[in-house]
């Protein structure tokens, strides 16, 4: 039964359970944070190693897909996240409610969006390039956009934060791109190792962030009403994300393959970016709580994506 569950879903659930039972607290938190930072650095370094510069350059020419996808991921979904943040404030803790805004401004997934695009019969090459470019854009856009929209309710995006984002996310990615020509054969021969490192980095980030939330007694703040708000809000965002992206592709008269790419690239949100970025942006005491909407949305989007991909693969919608 467990084999049928996506490995990333298993990892996230395991990290949350471990943080709940054995959270890292006190003086050990600084050590755990250093380990998490190192894991995040490696995560984006491997991203840089894997993504071919030729693919990036080839994908840049598909403006009919890239421009609306970027608009949908950051502007449309960001606006939806803002509305959910404002709408949930009377019913959920303020720190958790602002997590909907954080969720909305994150970039889309890379791996799962490509997998489901493939299953649905979409444009795989465009999916890989588009998702990767949106994630690169997210390094520059997500954190400043969140801080700008959240205002005094969020974390100010000042020079120190910019340095942390550039050092932990962009620098390793650029280093991976620079070294790509020398490491191509090594990467090809160690794909399983790199995949394990990717997932481990995300798991560590979730564990460290959620340990802080457990220390702040998150489970006493998340009662049945808050769970109801989380589920309803994430369901609404999923409906808006998938339904709106599909309709947008139709309005723009995109080829079916690109329309499917827009659907999965536009509606899915990346925990691979969201978890590491949360540990950079937010204090340890808040990061886990702010991430809760992202965690719920991520788990739900895997289920929805599987159903949608299966439906699209069998029907000419």
Tell me if residue 62 falls in helix, strand or coil. Answer: coil
- Give residue 163's pLDDT: 67
- Give residue 252's pLDDT: 93
SS (H, E, C) 96-118: HHHHHHHHHCCCCCCHHHHHHHH
Average predicted confidence (pLDDT) for the chain: 81
Tell me the mean pLDDT in the region 269-282: 81
C-alpha to C-alpha distance for 172 and 183, rounded to whole angstroms = 14
Task: Determine whether domain 7-311 maps to CATH 3.40.30.10.
Answer: no
Dihedral, 121, 231, 204, 33 alpha carbons, nearest 10: 130
Whether the CB-CB separation of 129 and 262 falls below 8 Å is answered with: no
How open is the CA angle 246-252-254, to the nearest 5 degrees?
Answer: 75
- Give residue 4's pLDDT: 58
C-alpha to C-alpha distance for 168 and 44, rounded to whole angstroms = 8
Tell me the mean pLDDT in the region 119-130: 77
pLDDT tier at 161 (50, 70, 90 boundaries)?
Answer: low
Most confident of the ranges 32-41, 45-54, 180-189, 265-274: 265-274
- Which structure tokens are listed for 59? 């994908």
- Give residue 59's pLDDT: 58
In the block, tokens 């008269």 appear at 253
**Taking Cα atoms as reference points, which of 44, 14, 35, 32 lies closest to residue 194?**
44
User: pTM for this one?
Assistant: 0.77
C-alpha to C-alpha distance for 74 and 108, rounded to whole angstroms = 9
pLDDT in tens, 143-154: 888 888 887 665
- Give residue 124's pLDDT: 72
Least confident range of 155-169, 246-260, 262-276 = 155-169
- Which structure tokens are listed for 155? 């974390």
In angstroms, the Cα distances linking 278 to 7, 8, 158 are 21, 18, 15
- Give residue 251's pLDDT: 95
C-alpha to C-alpha distance for 40 and 34, rounded to whole angstroms = 10
Most confident of the ranges 17-31, 80-94, 143-157, 280-294: 80-94
- Give residue 1's pLDDT: 43
pLDDT tier at 158 (50, 70, 90 boundaries)?
Answer: low
Q: What single string gives the DSSP state of each residue in 116-172?
A: HHHHHT--HHHHHHHHHHHHHHHHHHHHHHHHHHHGGGS----HHHHHHHIIIIIHH
C-alpha to C-alpha distance for 123 and 255, rounded to whole angstroms = 9
Whether the CB-CB separation of 264 and 132 falls below 8 Å is answered with: no
pLDDT in tens, 47-79: 777 766 666 566 566 678 889 999 999 999 999
Q: Where are the alpha helices (DSSP H) in 268-283?
A: 271-281
Enumerate the domain spans of the chain.
7-311
Whether the CB-CB separation of 209 and 49 falls below 8 Å is answered with: no
- Give residue 217's pLDDT: 72
- Which structure tokens are listed for 289? 């709580």
| Other Cβ atoms within 10 Å of 284 Cβ, number | 21
Q: What percent of the chain has pLDDT over 90?
A: 22
In the block, tokens 């609306």 appear at 68
Tell me the mean pLDDT in the region 152-173: 65
């Amino acid at each position: 039964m467990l084999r049928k569950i996506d490995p990333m879903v298993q990892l996230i659930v395991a990290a949350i359970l471990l943080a709940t039972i054995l959270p890292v607290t006190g003086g050990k938190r600084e050590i755990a944070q250093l380990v998490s930072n190192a894991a995040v650095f490696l995560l984006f370094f491997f991203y840089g190693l894997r993504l071919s510069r030729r693919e990036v350059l080839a994908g840049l020419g598909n403006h009919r897909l890239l421009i609306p996808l970027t608009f949908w991921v950051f502007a449309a979904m960001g606006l939806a996240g803002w509305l959910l943040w404002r709408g949930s404030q009377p019913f959920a803790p303020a720190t958790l409610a602002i997590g909907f805004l954080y969720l909305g401004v994150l970039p889309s997934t890379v791996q799962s969006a490509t997998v489901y695009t493939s299953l649905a019969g979409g444009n795989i090459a465009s999916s890989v390039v588009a998702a990767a470019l949106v994630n690169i854009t997210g390094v520059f856009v997500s954190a400043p956009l969140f801080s700008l929209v959240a205002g005094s309710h969020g974390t100010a995006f000042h020079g120190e934060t910019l340095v942390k984002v550039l050092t932990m996310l962009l620098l390793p990615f650029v280093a991976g791109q620079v070294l790509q020509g020398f490491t191509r054969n090594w990467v090809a021969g160690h794909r399983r190792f790199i995949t394990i490192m990717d997932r481990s980095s995300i798991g560590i980030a979730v564990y460290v962030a959620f340990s802080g939330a457990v220390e702040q007694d998150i489970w006493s703040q998340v009662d049945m009403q808050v769970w109801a708000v989380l589920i309803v809000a994430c369901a609404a965002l999923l409906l808006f994300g998938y339904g709106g992206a599909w309709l947008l592709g139709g309005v723009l008269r995109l080829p079916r393959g690109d329309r499917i790419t827009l659907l999965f690239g536009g509606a899915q949100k990346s925990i691979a970016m969201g978890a590491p970025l949360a540990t950079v942006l937010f204090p340890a005491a808040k990061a886990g709580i702010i991430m809760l909407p992202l965690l719920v949305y991520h788990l739900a989007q895997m289920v929805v994506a599987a159903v949608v991909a299966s439906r699209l693969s069998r029907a000419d919608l």
